[in-house]
Structure 1
Amino acid sequence: MIPDTLLATRQSRGQVWRIVESQEQAATRRITRSAAEQSRLEELLDAHKPAYLPGSEQLHWLLRTPFRYPPLRHGSRFGTRVEPGILYASRERETAMTESAVYLWLFRAGPLDTGPLARIADARTAIHFGLRHRAICDLTREPGSGHRKRLSDPADYSFSQALGARLRETGAGGIWFHSARAPHGVNAAILSPAAIPPGMEPRQEHWQLHLDARACWWGRAGGESFEIPFASVAGRDGRIPHPCL
């Protein structure tokens, strides 16, 4: 049962970060011999993907892509398996990096023997963009903050998914909520493409990451770096709690 007090929304805006894989062209370019072949390959790949959510067509492709795909089999924090995709981001860059590292650790903890992937060295892009909407639910404030434990449960999405469904019904464009992985971090769940201003061009930063069983290190040109200890996101049993496990 979702209390009606949690459905309150207000006009809100902010700047957020999201970590994405480096441009997929780097991967597909290896099997093409020219720009024309590359363009044709991308057209063929795009034709076999789900249709874009109405209203997202004019967004930068990095911003519209999350609305294109349904959640994974366990859903997402505020979305069930049968609802349109949600664009998740973080108010702080370090929070976005922490969330990204968690999913890499979960990948390592999967049922398959990852072999050399037990140590991951890869590139990522951090994108920074704005959001603005007339109806955003801020769960970091009362009365939402009073339900923080259930809303940010790292292993159970049932309460937050039920709230997400109710908020969609009211026409909410997004949600501010506490991160389950970074204690002082705030995340954003963007429910509607309308919450991203038209013409928004995300700023991009290119990062390298190195992840093993102990920590995830992020670094980029200029000497800027950030490290996330595995122990900071793991439970008492030494595992990362998550609905998929």
Structure 2
Amino acid sequence: MEKSSKDWKTRITQPFHQTISGQFWRIVESQEQVATQSLVDSLEEQSLFEELLEASKPKQEASSHQNDKLQDNNLHNNILNSNTLNNSTLNNSTLNNNNVNTNNVNTNNGWHYLLTTPFRYPPLLWGSRFGRRFEPSLLYGSKSIQTLLAECAYYRFIFWHGMETPPPTGKLNSQHLIFSATYRSEKGAQLQRSPFNAYEEELLHHSNYESCQELGSWMRELGIEAFEYTSARCQAKGTNVALFTKEALTCQQPLEQQPWLCELTKDRVTFSGTYYRSPLNDGIGYLADSNSLITFDAEVFLCDGKLPSPA
């Protein structure tokens, strides 16, 4: 790629900033052990076990359904807030499982640690897709859980291939927390639309981030606070979100929170979501059964037969 092909200042000559807003999802990895998972050998068995446990509970009466739901949510949140989450060495992207401590709810003038941590990460050795290694980090998210899991699956495979010695069992189980937040900025951009979609090949490159990083630096210069862009890992080209500053957030606390389990092997990543029951309809992964087992095969992320490294 020649230098001139990445000179965004000369390629994008018309104003492109606009107001953007919406909801995004992020994922973090916890080290909490799941009691039921220790009794079974796979996520398929664990999901079936959870269904059997649910079926054994007394049926709810209609009048008490809402109260029971609130009690379940409170219990669920208490469990999540008791997790001890450790620091990740993998990446600062959402998409890449940052480990943080949910006990630190209000760390800075009411801001939840989950929302402020991404901006505090040190630059990565290779930077991130839109951030150079000498620039402040961004907060990355996805507009849908399906896109988020596709991104996460890719980085789980990166993690597997980065291990010196794979686990003797041939699989690695982990627990994750998916949470949502909202954003709005009058200084936003939509890279999935004109005029940027004319350069989709560069913006969606599987391993070369140079052009994206130059665009990110230029947007910083222009005062862009937040932007949307097409995911390079999602087969259905779902939309991701990135924030340069927490000023683009419209909430100080995470909104909906969902616990997920992940099973990683050399060739497959399987996610199991306890609270997410919607069937997939965008071509991302597939449901292994009725219990929201969402599976990604390594081959969907390969380029020329190899797993591309972020760079």
Give the deviation of 1:27 after TM superposition.
5.7
Q: Which residue of 2 aligns with 1:31?
A: none
Alpha-carbon distance in 2 for matches of 1:5, 1:23: 48
Is 1:13 aligned with 2:17?
Answer: no
Q: Which residue of 1 aligns with 2:147?
A: 95
Alpha-carbon distance in 1 for matches of 2:266, 2:132: 30
TM-aligned CA distance change 1:6 to 1:229, over 3 Å: farther
Matching residue's letter, 2:247: A
Is 1:243 aligned with 2:295?
Answer: no
Q: Which moved more, 1:79-88 or 1:56-65?
A: 56-65
Pairing 1:91-170 to 2, within 5 Å after superposition: 91-110=143-162, 112-116=164-168, 118-170=170-222
Pick the structure with greater CA Rg: 2
Is 1:197 aligned with 2:250?
Answer: yes
Pairing 1:34-73 to 2, within 5 Å after superposition: 58-73=110-125
Q: Please give the TM-score of this superposition, normalised by the length of structure 2.
A: 0.65
Q: Is the partner of 1:160 in helix, strand or coil?
A: helix
Alpha-carbon distance in 2 for matches of 1:173, 1:114: 40
Give the deviation of 1:22 after TM superposition.
2.4
Alpha-carbon distance in 2 for matches of 1:213, 1:98: 16
Q: Which residue of 2 aligns with 1:39?
A: none
TM-aligned CA distance change 1:94 to 1:6, over 3 Å: farther
Q: Is the partner of 1:104 in helix, strand or coil?
A: helix
Give the deviation of 1:117 after TM superposition.
7.4
Is 1:185 aligned with 2:248?
Answer: no
Q: Which residue of 1 aligns with 2:261?
A: 208
Among 298, 306, 311, the residue aligned to 1:230: 298
Q: Please give the TM-score of this superposition, normalised by the length of structure 1.
A: 0.81
Report the count of equivalent residues: 219
Q: Which runs of 5+ in 2 are unaligned?
A: 1-6, 33-82, 87-100, 276-290
8 Å CA contact 1:209–1:219 kept in 2: the answer is: yes
Matching residue's letter, 2:26: R
- Structure 1, residues 139-170: CA drift from partner, whole Å, max 9, x if none? 11111111111011111011000110110111
8 Å CA contact 1:178–1:186 kept in 2: the answer is: yes
Give the deviation of 1:230 after TM superposition.
1.3
Matching residue's letter, 2:158: L
8 Å CA contact 1:57–1:64 kept in 2: the answer is: no
Please, what is the CA RMSD of the aligned residues?
2.3
- Structure 1, residues 173-216: CA drift from partner, whole Å, max 9, x if none? 11111111103211111111111014343211001111112221
Structure number with greater CO (CA < 8 Å, separation at least 6) is 1
Give the deviation of 1:220 after TM superposition.
2.5
8 Å CA contact 2:179–2:254 kept in 1: the answer is: no
TM-aligned CA distance change 1:243 to 1:194, over 3 Å: same
Q: Which residue of 1 aligns with 2:53?
A: none
Matching residue's letter, 2:184: R
Higher strand share: 1
8 Å CA contact 1:218–1:227 kept in 2: the answer is: yes
Q: Which runs of 5+ in 1 are unaligned?
A: 29-41, 47-51
